[in-house]
Amino acid sequence: MRIGEIALACAIALSSQASVRDLTTRQVCDLLARSDATTNPARIASALDVLRSRGRGAASAAETLSGLLPHRSRIFNGRDKDVVIRLRAYVIVTLAGIGFPTSARPALLDILAHVDERMSPVEVGAAARAVRSLGGRGRAFTPYLLDALGARLGVEEFSLERFDPRVPAAEATTAQLEIVRTLYRVAPTGDHDVQESLMQLIRDPDRDPRLVREAQRVLDRKPLATPKSERASVPADAAWRPAAQRTRLNLDIAYRDHDGRDGVLGRLVDKPVLITFFYSRCQNSKKCSMAVSRMGALQRQLVQAGMADRVRLLAVSYEPQFDTPERINRFATDRGLRLGPNALALQLDGAREQQLTDELEAPVNFSAGWVNTHGVELSLLDPNGRVVRQYQTILWDNDHVLKDVTRLLAER
């Protein structure tokens, strides 16, 4: 058990918070809505347990729980990363039991679209169980589930029945088991990719026998001629903002760039600007590393379109206290972003950076100044420093961004 998990187990064992078992569903929702960084995580888990015990009878709490899932949620602020992961996973499996709302779908995409071998199996398993609760509506997640099944995720056992990280044998599950059980429920029976992935799993002599049995159960279903599943996408909620509806950001923030030059962020916004965030210590190769690589690919498309000099690309570190100019220079360059006057990696003034992440509502949270949870995003600003569109949850489509940049340049 890791240090963070030991601390969590102790917090649960020692919690003296009053019982919430006798509260109405509305009162539980009020408790959760008021929860923040100071709320004992065991108290939050107890409230979620009450809702889980009521099943579909607590469906009215779904939107309240959905509001707890974004990386910027107050319940994650300042907490140990292990606690953040368990809290988020427990909210997700609670929603799976009471009814999963459309508003919480981005949380599933955020997890399943970015699975890599260093992710916690708990959050992947929770997301897979939530997809299973969607029934036919979960079909669009099939390609992501297959990607996750092929990732070199840890095979550690955990329980999704309790918040306590200790695992009773009867409740033991793994991310892989949750994924395959979900494929049985939601995957189209005639999907070649599903069949091939599961056959590879069965042929692996080192696989968990439980997993092999579950995979064979999926394959034994009567095959039907069904089309391949299209990947689930982000709901169309990041609308283009007309000029009259844009709000100017406060960009009076000092920076130091990848070459050690100092400046003020606002002076870089004299043309359309695309901003993404990263930090060099990020352990998820599908997030920060891929985001900067995607920005490098976007830069090459801008060059091909003859627009490279008319747009500025900014990759901003989430951890300026650690990411020196040398670090951000190497991180960006190694991922194909050609740094120069129109493409910069930046270390912002640490005392002012949160101002920018707050105004952009960037999907990130911190503990003592260090990232404890984050998503991916790209923001398009006009030459007046106003947000035009934001692309969040999964990595953006460069072709879509290029069309938006063309549209914005035409405004001028």
Q: What is the pLDDT of residues 320-329, one digit of tens each?
A: 999 999 999 9
- Torsion-angle region of 385 (φ positive above 0: left; ψ -120 to 50: alpha; else: beta): left
- Strands 364-367 and 343-348 come out as unpaired
Give the SS3 label for residue 389: strand
pLDDT score, position 225: 56
CA distance 217 to 224: 15
Amino acid (one-letter) located at 393 = T
Give the SS3 label for residue 377: strand
- Strands 370-374 and 312-317 come out as unpaired
Concatenated DSSP letters of 6-62: HHHHHHHHH--PPP-TTS-HHHHHHHHHH--TTS-HHHHHHHHHHHHHHGGGGGGGH
- The answer to whether 194 and 160 have CB atoms below 8 angstroms apart is no
CA distance 412 to 409: 6
Residues in the chain with pLDDT values less than 50: 8-17, 237
Sheet holding 387-392, edge to edge: 262-264, 254-257, 343-348, 312-317, 273-278, 377-381, 387-392
pLDDT score, position 235: 61
pLDDT score, position 238: 76
pLDDT score, position 234: 66
pLDDT score, position 391: 95
Strand partners, 348: 255
pLDDT score, position 290: 97
- The answer to whether 325 and 307 have CB atoms below 8 angstroms apart is no
Q: What are φ and ψ of residue 387, in 5° steps?
A: -70, 125
Domains of the chain, with CATH numbers?
3-219 (1.25.10), 243-411 (3.40.30.10)
pLDDT score, position 406: 97
Q: Which helix (H) or strand (E) holds 371?
A: strand 370-374
